[in-house]
């Protein structure tokens, strides 16, 4: 589940064959002017895509590393806390793009 969620976040829309709507496209945000609206857009997109393509997963929290040195280097670091209610497990996925 963790790997599938990571691939969902990293895949750009249109990249997956036969399903052009699949993917959050997190890399497309790398060179954006990072403000609160960009983080809200990313989080909203993650929640919508997860609800559509991974309905067995509930996103609990999405956190971003907002330190100036991270933003200045055009790096997007995030943590996604998710739950799988069917098996009562809560996990955290952490990665940097």
Q: What is the pLDDT of residues 16-44, one digit of tens each?
A: 999 999 999 999 888 777 777 889 999 99
The C-alpha atoms of residue 70 and residue 58 are separated, in whole angstroms, by 28
Q: How far is CA 42 from CA 18, 63, 80, 88, in A?
A: 23, 10, 12, 26
- Residue 29 has what pLDDT? 87
Question: Which H or E run includes 3?
Answer: helix 2-10
Name which of 30, 19, 13 is nearest 64 in CA terms.
30
The overall pTM is greater than 0.85: yes
pLDDT in tens, 54-86: 999 999 999 998 887 766 677 889 999 999 999
pLDDT for 71: 65
Please check whether residue 24 is in contact with residue 5, taking contact to mean a CB–CB distance below 8 angstroms. no
Residue closest to 79 by CA, chosen among 57, 58, 95: 95
The overall average pLDDT reported for the chain is 92
Among candidates 78, 84, 41, which has minimal Cα distance to 62? 78
């Amino acid at each position: 589940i963790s790997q599938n969620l990571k691939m969902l976040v990293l895949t750009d829309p249109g990249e997956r064959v036969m399903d052009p709507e699949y993917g959050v496209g997190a890399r497309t945000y790398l060179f954006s002017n990072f403000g609160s609206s960009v983080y809200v857009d990313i989080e909203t997109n993650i929640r919508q895509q997860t609800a559509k393509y991974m309905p067995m997963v509930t996103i609990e929290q999405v956190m971003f590393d907002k330190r100036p040195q991270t933003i200045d280097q055009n790096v997007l670091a995030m943590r996604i806390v998710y739950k799988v209610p069917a098996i009562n497990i809560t996990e955290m996925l952490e990665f940097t793009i």
